[in-house]
């Protein structure tokens, strides 16, 4: 009887510890966001851009870190969300920020469905080729559909209304930054629930052994397509936030460079961990901004050296390596 009670108590203790860790992580995000608002009031545009890219990297982590899908075309989902929000405002007069965000979610989810159906028809290197091809196709489509997207000149005429009718999106970026922080926190909490749900565990199982999952009666492809749609929705939130904050959408939001940088940020922080995705985005973008300002001629060399050092000495990423070290220390004390 005693052993049975102890066995039943283990999951309860684990859930309590996980919940406490989630609260600590969310509190850290809130503290960092507040510190950024207070310490860098003149650079909120960069911080809002950082949040938008963090949502892109989070969405990439869902399909790459948790599902093991190789992709270098995730900017297609981000750009689809940005253009959906921008077109809703510029062409249809839908200027409510919440409705623009909803349009971005729908646009990103649809793009995720299309990309998922195509990319998941292959595995390994062919997946990378398909993802790169898709991001170039999305880019060229946006360039040719200039009557809707503005083409190479970019989509302008985006004018979001005040949030809840009271908080205007001013040039200083206060409202956009706070709105972005709220979106990030909501997305982070929901994604933490998702990755620990039975569906999230199923996707992890597909990454490790898809044949066993298929033998159990589940369909790996259907599950991965669903995760791709969810990933597209998250990326669409980031794209919509970028459109709302900058009030312009350019072709760079659909660029291969954007996709590659997102993957670099994910590897820098650590794959298969939502907080690793946030850590990698924060470190990469702030380091890139600082180094490019200090040394505008050789900053790429310094960034490249940082990435080499991290990959060689912290192969699990900065957050992943730190988390593994803390876990080993905890086990040693136990």
Q: Sorting pLDDT into bands at 50, 70 and 90, what band is 15?
A: low
For residue 323, is pLDDT > 90? no
> When comparing pLDDT for 142 and 10, which is higher?
142
Domain ranges of the chain: 1-39, 44-254
**Is residue 293 exposed (0-12), middle (13-18) or buried (19+ Cβ within 10 Å)?**
exposed
Strands (E), 62-182: none
Residues 96-154 have pLDDT tens digits of: 999 999 999 999 999 999 999 999 998 888 999 999 999 999 999 999 999 999 998 99
**Token pair listed for 189:** 């909490």
DSSP summary character for residue 167: B
How far apart, in Å, are the Cα atoms of 248 and each of 234, 259, 263, 282? 20, 19, 24, 23
**Token pair listed for 65:** 């870190």
What pTM, to 2 d.p., does this model score?
A: 0.92
Distance CA 242, CA 154 (A): 13
Other beta carbons less than 10 A from residue 188's beta carbon: 22
Are 80 and 105 in contact by the 8 Å Cβ rule? The answer is: no
Distance CA 242, CA 253 (A): 9
Cα 7–chain centre separation: 37
When computed from its CA atoms, the radius of gyration of the chain, rounded to whole angstroms, is: 20
Mapped onto helix, strand or coil, the DSSP state of residue 168 is coil
């Amino acid at each position: 009887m005693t052993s049975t009670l102890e066995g039943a108590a283990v999951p309860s203790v684990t859930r309590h510890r996980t919940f406490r860790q989630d609260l600590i992580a969310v509190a850290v995000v809130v503290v960092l966001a507040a510190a950024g608002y207070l310490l860098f009031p003149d650079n909120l545009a960069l911080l809002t851009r950082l949040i938008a890219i963090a949502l892109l990297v989070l969405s990439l982590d869902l399909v790459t870190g948790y599902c093991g899908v190789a992709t270098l075309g995730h900017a297609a989902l981000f750009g689809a969300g940005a253009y959906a929000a921008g077109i809703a405002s510029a062409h249809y007069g839908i200027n409510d920020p919440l409705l623009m965000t909803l349009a971005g979610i729908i646009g990103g989810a649809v793009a995720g469905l299309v990309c998922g159906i195509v990319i998941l028809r292959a595995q390994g290197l062919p997946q990378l080729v398909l993802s790169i091809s898709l991001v170039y196709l999305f880019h060229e489509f946006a360039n040719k559909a200039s009557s809707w997207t503005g083409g190479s000149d970019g989509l302008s005429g985006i004018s979001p209304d005040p949030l809840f009718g009271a908080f205007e999106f001013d040039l200083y970026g206060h409202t956009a930054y706070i709105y972005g922080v709220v979106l990030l926190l909501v997305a982070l909490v929901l994604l933490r629930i998702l990755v620990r749900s039975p569906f999230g565990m199923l996707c992890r199982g597909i990454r490790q052994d898809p044949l066993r999952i298929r033998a159990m009666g589940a369909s790996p492809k259907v599950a991965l397509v669903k995760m791709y749609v969810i990933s597209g929705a998250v990326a669409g939130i980031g794209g919509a936030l970028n459109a709302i904050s900058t009030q312009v959408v350019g072709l760079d939001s659909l660029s291969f460079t954007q996709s590659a940088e997102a993957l670099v940020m994910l590897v820098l922080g650590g794959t298969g961990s939502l907080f690793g995705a946030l850590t990698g985005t924060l470190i990469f973008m702030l380091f890139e901004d600082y180094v490019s300002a200090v040394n505008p001629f050789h900053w790429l060399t310094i960034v490249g050296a940082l990435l080499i050092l991290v990959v060689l000495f912290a192969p699990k990423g900065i957050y992943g390596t730190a988390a593994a070290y803390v876990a080993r220390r905890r086990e040693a004390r136990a």
